[in-house]
Structure 1
């Protein structure tokens, strides 16, 4: 092979090798990562360090400050700039509702000690707590737990207009009633599937007028609780009204007058 041909071949081989190295370097070269810092305005918000149970008395170890985007901070949040001593100030408060770890603390979720007991703390404004006697056969075999929803049924005797005898009748007093406590248990303990079988009372959340009617119902008959399905729960709606036990079914009645003196009434329903 002639010298010029050898030189040309060497140049071509060298160029090919350089092109191969360059292409390989371009293919295997890792992409350049660019880090872009975006500064977001934030505020330190008071949150729960761990889960806080309903009715639990808090201390400062249950809280911590967490950076929170300023645009999502609502007026109800407690911020370090607004209340720098909030942890100390809220120590000893009672939780009005369960609070999950990392959840922002608000004034409405806690009530300060001295403003009422645990039960008073978890009662919504305008509502009353009233207890009724229960036993296994009137409380779903003691399977009702705090925060369940029940219907309240009154069983009493009314005079039969046709026979003059007294018959047992059942009436729905209230529906969708929240159970505040079974005995002295106000919160379902983790892993506990039933309430205290020895509990003799159920404490219900009712309006002031409904509390009066339940007290009346307890005096004129027997109260039973019917457990509602979780599929029917409506926590946004309070207890619904049923029959008013103060108004007897014997509304259409005959009053017998004997010598101008009224005697007892007999129903004609």
Structure 2
């Protein structure tokens, strides 16, 4: 081989080796990563809160539908039940009865449970109100489409007094307006299986003491009491013009109201 080629080949080998050495020194060696094997503490403080693991209808027991769930401490309400304050609450409350419908994921509150020794109806009745039952059937309850928590008007129908020179017939009057239905028979909420109508024999209504007296008098006077279903949009409507005359005595005290043959009369009360 000619000497010139040997010289060129030697120079090329030397250049390649030098380039490799330079490139090797230019590559940065990454710093070793130190992995902490210990468990890191959470950045947000958490507490165990008793929550619903399933829907609980009004009047049902909680059963196994409650569990402890971690919540941020800043989001824990004073009414929540926490494991820190009541570690055995899940066992103690599993037989409690819901006084209103509750839903999965909702924190459990004692205010939504029936207190020990209380009956169900008295626990769901608002303060100052009365629960009064009245007989109904399909003809007098919107064909059975009235359900608990619906609002109704109460209509009284009675025979007119023909002996006073009138033409007889019937008199119809709305005696109570916008009244909430608490229960139909023993059912206090809509059927869970999707049954949308219920033809019961008795409707329990939520009434003020004055309204309770009105419907008691009307039940004695009326040939029929009818419940007329109202729209949900009217639930907050202010009620005026009820049949207060049935019990008010026209504003007079010391009178007794007598009902005979569907007619009202008043006599002075004995002292």
Confirm or deny that 1:173 pairs with 2:175. yes
Confirm or deny that 1:49 pairs with 2:53. yes
Over 3 Å counting, the alpha-carbon distance change for 1:214 and 1:139 in structure 2 is: same
TM-score by length of 2: 0.68
1:88 Cα deviation after fit: 2.2
Over 3 Å counting, the alpha-carbon distance change for 1:62 and 1:248 in structure 2 is: closer
| Correspondence for 1:90 | 93
The C-alpha deviation readout for 1:90-131, integer Å capped at 9, x for no partner, is 232211110000101111100134321x32232222222111
Counterpart CA distance in 1 for 2:241 and 2:123 is 25
Q: 67, 71, 74: which is aligned to 1:68?
A: 71
Over 3 Å counting, the alpha-carbon distance change for 1:239 and 1:205 in structure 2 is: farther
Counterpart CA distance in 2 for 1:49 and 1:239 is 40
Counterpart CA distance in 1 for 2:242 and 2:163 is 23
Counterpart CA distance in 2 for 1:161 and 1:113 is 57
Calculate the aligned-residue CA RMSD, in Å.
3.7
Over 3 Å counting, the alpha-carbon distance change for 1:69 and 1:226 in structure 2 is: same
Counterpart CA distance in 2 for 1:110 and 1:240 is 34
Confirm or deny that 1:110 pairs with 2:113. yes
Provide structure 2 residue ranges, at least 5 long, that are not aligned to the other structure: 1-7, 24-40, 252-263, 266-271
| Correspondence for 2:243 | 243
Task: Note the 1:1-269 alignment, pairs <5 A.
Answer: 39-59=43-63, 61-116=64-119, 118-157=120-159, 159=161, 163-166=165-168, 168-197=170-199, 199-221=200-222, 222-234=224-236, 242-246=242-246
Over 3 Å counting, the alpha-carbon distance change for 1:240 and 1:211 in structure 2 is: farther
- Stretches of 4+ aligned residues off by more than 4 angstroms: 157-163, 237-241, 247-251
Over 3 Å counting, the alpha-carbon distance change for 1:209 and 1:141 in structure 2 is: same
1:229 Cα deviation after fit: 1.4
Counterpart CA distance in 2 for 1:239 and 1:42 is 48
1:224 Cα deviation after fit: 0.9
Provide structure 1 residue ranges, at least 5 long, that are not aligned to the other structure: 19-36, 252-263
Q: Is the 8 A contact 1:177 1:239 kept in 2?
A: no
Greater Rg over alpha carbons, structure? 2
Counterpart CA distance in 2 for 1:40 and 1:241 is 58
TM-score by length of 1: 0.69
Over 3 Å counting, the alpha-carbon distance change for 1:110 and 1:240 in structure 2 is: farther
Counterpart CA distance in 2 for 1:119 and 1:240 is 27
